[in-house]
Amino acid sequence: MSVRPTSLETLAVAAGRPAHEPGGPLNTPITLATALVPGGASEYTRHGHPGWEAFEEAVGALEGGNAVSFGSGMAATVAVLELLPVGAKVVAADGSYYGTTVELERRARRGLIKLELVDVTDTEAVIAAAADAAMVWLESPTNPALDVADIRAICAAVTAVGTAVVVDNTLATPLRQRPLDLGADFVVHSASKLLSGHSDVLMGVVVTHDDRAARALATRRTSLGSVPGSLEAYLALRGLRTLHVRLDRAEDNATEIAARLLERTDVTGVRYPGFGTMVSFEVAGGAEAAQRATEASEVVVHATSLGGVESTWERRRRHAGEPANVPESLVRLSVGIENVEDVWEDIARSLDAVSTGAPAGGARREPQRTSGWV
C-alpha cells in the first residue's frame, strides 16, 4: 500500500500494508513458501519475499529512503562493507558496537580495508581522519558508551569530497534522528532491537537514497543468502507498528532512572545522551560488584540484548570481545516500558545488595534530559 507523506507515528502504523480490498487482510500475511509462481517480482524467496517487502516499505518510509532487509544486524553491516573496494580506508567510531568493531578489525588484518578508529564526539578529528577515506562509519549514540556524533557537520564536510557516511541508527531510531536527512549515505539498523521491540526477532536493515546502492545490497543479500525469515519479517513489522508508543514510554522511564542514578554514591559516570532508552553507568565497587548487582535483579532482566519492552542490563566487559576502552564495571541498561517505580526499586535494591557505600540522601532532583555524558 502506498502511503502519502504524513507524521512518522502514522507511517509506523500505516506503511507497508496490503491494498485495501474487500475481504482482504489488514496485515501482510506470513508466506510460508520458498518457491513462488513465475511472473511476479520473485520466483524464489532468496530473491524476494512479500513479508520482507512490506517491512522494507515501512522502514524506508520512516527513514526516508530505500530499505533492504537482512537476516541480522551484522549481515546488514557486512553487506555495506562489501560495497568497498579492496584496500579502502574506513574511519569508524572507537566506541562502536563490538560486533562491528570485530568485523572491521578482521577485515583490516586481512588487508581488505585500512582502518582508523576515532572519537566520534571530536568532529574535527573525524573530518581530518576522513580526508583520504572511502567510508566513515558512525554510531550515534554509540553502544555502550552512548557518545553522540555531530552527524550533520561530519556529513557536510566529508561527503563533499566523495566519502560515504554510514550511520548505525539502532539506538536512536528514525523517530529521534533521520541520518539520511542529515547527509548520510546509508543507515543501518539491528532490527532485532527497538524497531521490532519484543526480543523475539533476529533481523537487520539498511536504508539508502541511492537506488544503485540498494540494488547492490540486495544482490549481496541474494548471493550470500543473508535473508530474513518469513516469520521474522512478520514479527518485525508488527513490532514496528508500536515503535512510537514504546519509545515514548521507555524514554520517559530512562530519563527518570538516569536522574535517580546521579544521586547515588555507589555509581559513577552515568551516561544518558538526552534521548532514547539506554543508560550506562559504572558501579563504584568494581567489576565484581557490577556483575553481582546485574545478576541480583528480578524485574530488570540480566540479558545481553536491548530495545525490548522489558528492561535489561548487563556488565558489558563480561563479553570477551568487548573493547578494552569500555570500563570493567560499566553496566549497560536498556530501559523498558514497565512502571518506572518498579524498575527503579529493583535497580536500587540490586545495587544496595553489593554497594560499598550507602545511596546518597537528600531531596531528589527533577528528571531532566541531559546532553552528552552526565
Out of 17, 89, 107, 168, the active site residue is: 168
- State the residue for C-alpha cell 545522551: 273
Measuring CA to CA, how many Å separate 367 from each of 77, 253, 255, 335, 372? 36, 10, 6, 15, 16
Measuring CA to CA, how many Å separate 347 from each of 264, 267, 315, 374? 11, 12, 14, 19
All residues at 6 or more sequence positions from 156 whose CB lies less than 8 Å from its CB, including other chains: 183
Beta-ladder partners of 117 = 92
Clarify whether 46 is annotated catalytic: yes
Beta-ladder partners of 136 = 91, 165
Clarify whether 98 is annotated catalytic: no
Dihedral (C-alpha) 3, 6, 10, 13: value to the nearest 10 degrees? Answer: 20
Clarify whether 212 is annotated catalytic: no
The CA distance from 140 to 156, in Å, is 16
Sign of CA dihedral 143, 231, 35, 27: negative
The CA distance from 158 to 184, in Å, is 10
Out of 46, 152, 292, 349, the active site residue is: 46
Alpha carbon 25 to chain centroid distance? 31
Q: CB–CB of 234/318 below 8 Å?
A: no
Three-state DSSP at 200 gives coil
Burial class of residue 324, CB neighbours in 10 A (0-12, 13-18, 19+)? exposed
Grid coordinates representing 290 are 557490577
Q: How does DSSP classify residue 314?
A: E
Out of 17, 89, 107, 193, the active site residue is: 193
Residue 116 has phi, psi (to 5 degrees) of -130, 125
H helix and E strand count, the chain: 11, 12
The CA distance from 286 to 328, in Å, is 7
Clarify whether 97 is annotated catalytic: yes
Catalytic residues: 46, 97, 168, 193
